[in-house]
Structure formats: structure tokens, C-alpha cells
Amino acid sequence: MQSARKIDPHNGVQHDKTVSLLRLYQGLKRVYDLLDKARAELESVRGAPVCVEGCGLCCERRTPAASLLEASYLVSHPASNGSPGAMQHRAFAWLEAEDSRLTMCGLPRGIRLGGEDRARLGADVAVLTRSRCPFLLSEKTCAVYQHRPLACRAYSVTPAPDHWCRRPIAAMETNEIRAVIGRDTSLGISVQGATTALWRAAEGFGMAQYNKVGMLPALAAELLDSARYGRLLHSGVVADAKLALGIRLPDLFALPVREVVERSLGYRATPLGVNRVIGDMGVGEVR
Ligand code: SF4
Ligand code: SF4
């Protein structure tokens, strides 16, 4: 008679989590591929690239928020992201850097903030999101380009570029009116559908924590060296805004990620400019 195979319940759970995480990575890769496709389609409609080579201005002025899933996907590809050591160095340097513009530090974790504190924390998050991204290299390229998050891929493609973006203006466009992939285009619908399915899958796998959004460098630091991150967390020397976490990723076609983070923390972001969907993708005003 064949002996019954012993099953270690803990290993079983671990295996399930690994499989689930790999499936979530696949889903995330699909969303990334769709956004890359959207960019290619937009360039084809405009007849011009959506970016100036070697510009990097948005990365100089923005540090992205991202979900834990995106950060996890990013750090799980060290070879194409300049080694774990390089990523770690950049992430912790950002985390440990002092910034006199940030006003809140050392709040006890897990407390419910009052309105004034929420507003101050939101203002600090706004400062952070408007600071240089630590993954921008000196030659104005992205150290984690292949695995950069949704916010970076959607920038300049969905209705969220800043007015100072140096994107070349193509036919039918002005600085105020630029072509974007709209919510109602087939690509827009695909991106939204794939993104919604992804966050639902994380919940379905019991891994809803992967949907939580924070600042990308802080999430990467936590994943790359949790002990060092934990010491910093409890030291009370890291600005609270760097450690802010706790909302879902927003609809990429409605607002930039940073504004939803700011809004959730009580900060009122400046209104977006108006964009217009043009060319083959139909005409319609979107904000
Ligand atoms: S998206 Fe705009 S600001 Fe960013 S690198 Fe491209 S042209 Fe420059
Ligand atoms: S992760 Fe890369 S693409 Fe995104 S803001 Fe940073 S340097 Fe730019």
C-alpha cells in the first residue's frame, strides 16, 4: 500500500502565496503591456513621440506613488534594475534624507488623524510627490525602467501630464490641448478592465495588502531590507509622509496617482489642465 504523503500546512500556505503572487505579477505585466501599447498607438496617431529623449523632467519633479504589488514586482527583478544593492541604496537614501519642508515626523503608527494633521500630512505627501525620484539616474534615464510603476507609464499617455511636460506638440495639439488615450477608447477600456481584475484578484487571493498604495521608494526599501526599514520605522526620524500607506490605486484615467494620495490625506491638489482626445480616438473633453 502506498504511504500517504505528509503535507506541511505551513509550506502549503507559502506555496499558495507564491503561486498567487506570480499570478498577480502576470496580471500586472498585462496592464503594463496595455499601457505600453497605448503609448505606441498614441505616438502613431500623433505622428510624434510622446517624450523627449533624455528629458527626464517629470522624474526630476515627481516621485511616484505605487501599490505594494508594483514595488514587489520591481524588486523581484534585480538584474534589470541595477542590482538589489543599487536599488536598496537609492531607496534608503531617499527614505533617510532629511527635508526641512516636511513638517510631520514620529506620529505613532495606526492612529486616526484629526483634520488638521491629515491636511499637514497631505501637504507633506505633496512635497514628496513633487521631489526628484531617486530612481532617476544622472544621465536622465530610469534605473528601473522596465519595471517602472503604473503612474510612470500612464504619465503623458492618459489625461495627467503636467503643463510643464516637454512633450513635443504634434499636429492638432497645443500646450493646453494634447492628445491622450481616453477612458472610452478600446485601449482605455482594456486598461481599466485589466486593472480592476488585478486588484480584485489580489483580494480574492487574500492578498489585499498588495493593493495598498505608498511612495515607491519607501515600499521598495521595506521589501529589500525589512529589518533596516523596521528600525527606521520605529526610530521616529523618518517623515510620516514617506511612510503613508493605506489607499487603493486610483482610476488612471481620472486623476494622477499622487492626487488621489493627497486627497485621501485631506490635501486639495491644484486642478488639472484640460486635455482633449483627438485623431482616430475620437474627440471629447476629459479632465
Ligand atoms: S513625459 Fe514630458 S517631462 Fe517627462 S520625460 Fe517625457 S517629455 Fe519630459
Ligand atoms: S520610477 Fe523611473 S520613470 Fe518613474 S519617476 Fe522614477 S525615474 Fe521616472
Domain for residue 49, yes or no?
A: yes
C-alpha cell at 42: 498614441
First to last CA, the chain: 69
User: pTM (2 decimals)?
Assistant: 0.82
SS3 state at 242: helix
Domain for residue 1, yes or no?
A: no
Domain for residue 112, yes or no?
A: yes
105-120 per-position pLDDT tens digit: 887 766 677 778 878 8
Identify whether the C-beta of residue 79 lies closer than 8 Å to the C-beta of residue 183. Answer: no
Domain for residue 12, yes or no?
A: no
Identify whether the C-beta of residue 129 lies closer than 8 Å to the C-beta of residue 62. Answer: yes
Indicate if ligand 1 lies below 6 Å from the C-beta of 155: yes
Q: Residue 59: which of 136, 143, 156, 137 has the closest Cα?
A: 136
| Cα 65 to averaged position of ligand 1 atoms, centre (Å) | 17
Question: Whose C-alpha lies nearest to ligand 2, atom 5?
Answer: 59
Identify whether the C-beta of residue 214 lies closer than 8 Å to the C-beta of residue 243. Answer: yes
Question: Whose C-alpha lies nearest to ligand 1, atom 4?
Answer: 58
23-33 per-position pLDDT tens digit: 999 999 999 99
Cα-based distances in Å from 177 to 11, 111, 123: 55, 43, 28
Report the nearest atom of ligand 2 relative to the CA of 148: 1
Indicate if ligand 1 lies below 6 Å from the C-beta of 147: no
Domain for residue 136, yes or no?
A: yes
Identify whether the C-beta of residue 181 lies closer than 8 Å to the C-beta of residue 158. Answer: yes
Compute φ and ψ for 275, nearest 5 degrees.
-120, 160
pLDDT of residue 206: 92
Residue-number span of the structural domain to which 129 is assigned: 17-286
Indicate if ligand 1 lies below 6 Å from the C-beta of 165: yes
What residues line ligand 2, using a CB cutoff of 6 Å? 59, 62, 64, 133, 135-136, 142, 144, 148, 152
Domain for residue 3, yes or no?
A: no
Of all ligands present, the nearest one to the C-alpha of 149 is 2
Confidence class for position 264, pLDDT limits 50, 70, 90: very low
| Averaged pLDDT, 233-241 | 86
The number of angstroms, rounded, from the C-alpha of 58 to the middle of its chain's C-alpha atoms is: 14
Q: What is the DSSP letter of 51?
A: S
C-alpha cell at 103: 513638517
| Cα 55 to averaged position of ligand 2 atoms, centre (Å) | 12
Structural domain count, the chain = 1
